[in-house]
A and B are shown apart, each in its own frame.
Chain A
Amino acid sequence: MIASSAPTFPHRHLLGIEGLKASDILGLLDLAEEAVTVSRQVEKKRSVLRGRTQINLFFEASTRTQSSFEIAGKRLGADVMNMAVSSSSIKKGETLLDTAATLNAMRPDLIVVRHHAAGAVHLLARKVDCSVINAGDGEHEHPTQALLDALTIRRNKGRIEGLVVAICGDVLHSRVARSNILLLQTLGARVRVVAPSTLLPAGIDRFGVEVHRNMREGLKDADIVMMLRLQRERMKGAFVPSVKEYFRYFGLDAEKLSWAKSDALVMHPGPMNRGVEIDSEVADSAQSLIREQVEMGVAVRMAVLEALARHLPNG
Chain B
Amino acid sequence: MTAPKLFANARLIDPLTGRDEQGGLLVHHGLIADLGPSVKADAAPDDTEIIDCQGRVLGPGLVDMRAFVGEPGAEHRETIATATQAAAAGGVTTLVCMPDTNPAIDDPAIVDFLLRRARDTGVVRILPAAALTRGLAGTEMTEVGLLKEAGAAAFTDGARSIRNAGIFRRILTYARDFDALVMHHTEDPDLVGSGVMNAGELSSRLGLPGRHTAAETIMLERDMRLVELTGCRYHAASVTCRASLDVIRRAKEMGLPVSCGATINHLSFNEGDIGDYRTFFKLSPPLRSEDDRQALVAAVAEGLIDVVVSDHNPQDVDQKRQPFAEAADGAIGVETMLIAGLRLVHAEMLSLAGLFAAMSARPSRRLGLAGGKLAKGAPADLVELDLGAPWVLDPAQLKSRSKNTPFDGARLQGRVTRTMVGGSIVHEASSA
Chain A interface (Cβ < 8 Å from any Cβ of B):
18, 95-97, 115, 117-120, 122-123, 137-141, 175, 178, 201-204, 206-207
Contacts and interface: CB of A to CB of B under 8 A. Distances in A.
A138 B325 contact: yes
B19 interface: no
A42 B318 CA distance: 50
B202 interface: yes
10 contacts: A18-B205, A95-B318, A117-B323, A117-B326, A119-B277, A119-B324, A123-B321, A175-B207, A202-B203, A203-B201
Among A96, A122, A137, A201, which residue has the most Cβ atoms of chain B within 10 A? Answer: A201
B190 to A, nearest CB: 13
Given A117-B325, A117-B326, 19 more contacts: A95-B318, A96-B323, A118-B323, A118-B325, A119-B277, A119-B325, A122-B276, A123-B277, A123-B321, A140-B207, A201-B204, A202-B199, A202-B210, A203-B199, A203-B200, A203-B202, A203-B204, A204-B204, A207-B204
A120 B322 CA distance: 8
B229 interface: no
A140 B210 CA distance: 13
A118 B201 contact: no
Given A137-B207, A204-B204, A206-B201, A95 B322 contact: yes
B206 interface: yes
A203 B201 CA distance: 4
Among B201, B205, B209, B326, which residue has the most Cβ atoms of chain A within 10 A? Answer: B205
Interface string B286-321: 000000000000000000000000000000001001
Among A96, A123, A139, A202, which residue has the most Cβ atoms of chain B within 10 A? Answer: A202
Contact of B277 (A122, A178, A204, A207): A122
A95 B327 CA distance: 11
B205 A95 contact: no
Chain B interface size range: 20 to 34
A120 B323 contact: yes
Contacts of A95: 318, 321-322
B200 A202 contact: yes
Among A119, A137, A207, which residue has the most Cβ atoms of chain B within 10 A? Answer: A119
Contacts of B323: 96, 115, 117-120, 123, 138
A96 B322 contact: yes
Contact of B207 (A96, A139, A207): A139
B208 interface: yes
A207 B205 CA distance: 9
Contacts of A201: 203-204
A206 B209 CA distance: 17
B270 to A, nearest CB: 15
Contact of A202 (B201, B322, B324, B326): B201
Contacts of A137: 207
- The 8 tightest CB contacts between A and B, nearest first, are A140-B207, A203-B201, A117-B323, A119-B277, A201-B204, A120-B323, A118-B207, A139-B207
Among B205, B206, B323, B326, which residue has the most Cβ atoms of chain A within 10 A? Answer: B323
A95 B328 CA distance: 14
Nearest to B318: A95
Nearest to A171: B204
Contacts of A18: 205
Interface string B234-262: 00000000000000000000000000000
Contacts of B203: 201-203
A207 B200 CA distance: 11
A202 B204 contact: yes
A141 B260 CA distance: 39
B322 A207 contact: no
A113 to B, nearest CB: 11
Contacts of B276: 119, 122
Interface string B176-217: 000000000000000000000001111111111110100000
Nearest to B274: A119
A203 B202 CA distance: 8
A125 to B, nearest CB: 10
A140 B321 contact: no
B193 to A, nearest CB: 11
A141 B277 CA distance: 13
Contacts of B321: 95, 97, 123
Contact of A178 (B207, B212, B324): B207
Nearest to A141: B207
Given A118-B323, A122-B277, A138 B207 contact: yes
Contacts of B277: 118-119, 122-123
Contacts of A123: 277, 321-323
Among B199, B277, B321, which residue has the most Cβ atoms of chain A within 10 A? Answer: B277
A135 B366 CA distance: 53
A229 to B, nearest CB: 16
Nearest to A179: B207
A97 to B, nearest CB: 6
Contacts of A175: 207
A118 B208 contact: yes
Contacts of B208: 118-119, 138-140
Contacts of B206: 118-119, 140
Among A96, A123, A141, which residue has the most Cβ atoms of chain B within 10 A? Answer: A123
